[in-house]
Amino acid sequence: MGRGKVELKRIENPASRQVTFSKRRNGLLKKAFELSILCDAEVALLIFSHSGKVYQFASHDMDRTISRYRNEVGLPESNNPRCRTMEFWRSEIEELKRTIDTLEARNKHLVGEDLSMLSVKELKKLERQLKTGVERIRSKKRRFVSEHVNLLKKRHRALQEENTRLQKILHELHEIDVSSRISGADACDAFQRAKKATVVTNLESGDESNQRQLVSKN
């Protein structure tokens, strides 16, 4: 069964239209190159995109081929540099507008808008792109979380080391304080013992003196 006739019509989706243009443009340029080689033909190809950007191929010199064409069909030569400059900037402006439209359409597709004009193939491609984007985001998130956790672990270890150092200093200060208290208590105890010994000695001396006085009286 033969294939049915495919209706050619303008592609409404900007992104799809740009992709189709790029593919077919490259194919056309390739065919022009092959024709010039296989048939030894002088080939010149000019393609203007919807935005006005020009793509070209020439098997020989483009200007010479165009001049030859003008002579063949009787067209006058145009050497006005101002017209060429205006055309160039006009094409650049149109190309920028086209690029902006394409990017806006792509952004809408990425957030799930204006999908009704996409084919099944385009939807599958968009799905793959979204999955790739999500995986990249998750990978970035995992890497960020891992780096953050490692940083927190380093800070935790540093705090533990600082806490250990402070505990050691506090323990040393406590031991010094206890030693000082013990030394003070020993000194006080020695003083009290000396004081008691002095009192006892004085009492004994007083008793001996009284005994002598009694003996003298007798």
Task: List, for residues 157-168, the tens digit of each pLDDT value.
Answer: 999 998 888 888
Q: How far is CA 16 from CA 138, 174, 187, in A?
A: 29, 81, 101
Name the DSSP letter for residue 3.
P
Rounded Cα–Cα distance for residues 26 and 110 (Å): 27
Residues 57, 32: contact at Cβ < 8 Å? Answer: yes
Domains of the chain and any CATH numbers:
14-118 (3.40.1810.10)
Rounded Cα–Cα distance for residues 15 and 20 (Å): 9
Rounded Cα–Cα distance for residues 185 and 178 (Å): 11
Q: For 24-77, write each residue's pLDDT tens digit.
A: 999 999 999 999 999 989 999 988 888 888 888 888 888 888 888 888 877 665
Residues 106, 15: contact at Cβ < 8 Å? Answer: yes
Q: For 75-90, write each residue's pLDDT tens digit.
A: 665 555 555 566 677 7
E strands, the chain, are 44-48, 54-58
> Average pLDDT, stretch 173-182?
70
> Bigger pLDDT: 172 or 216?
172
What is the token pair recorded at 171?
A: 């323990």
- Partnered with residue 55 across adjacent β-strands are 47
Burial 50-89, CB ≥16 within 10 A → b, else e: ebbeeeebbbeeeeebeeeeeeeeeeeeeeeeeeeeeeee
Residues 6 or more apart whose Cβ sits within 8 Å of residue 105: 13, 14, 15, 114
Q: For 105-153, write each residue's pLDDT tens digit.
A: 888 877 778 777 778 888 888 888 888 888 888 988 999 999 999 999 9
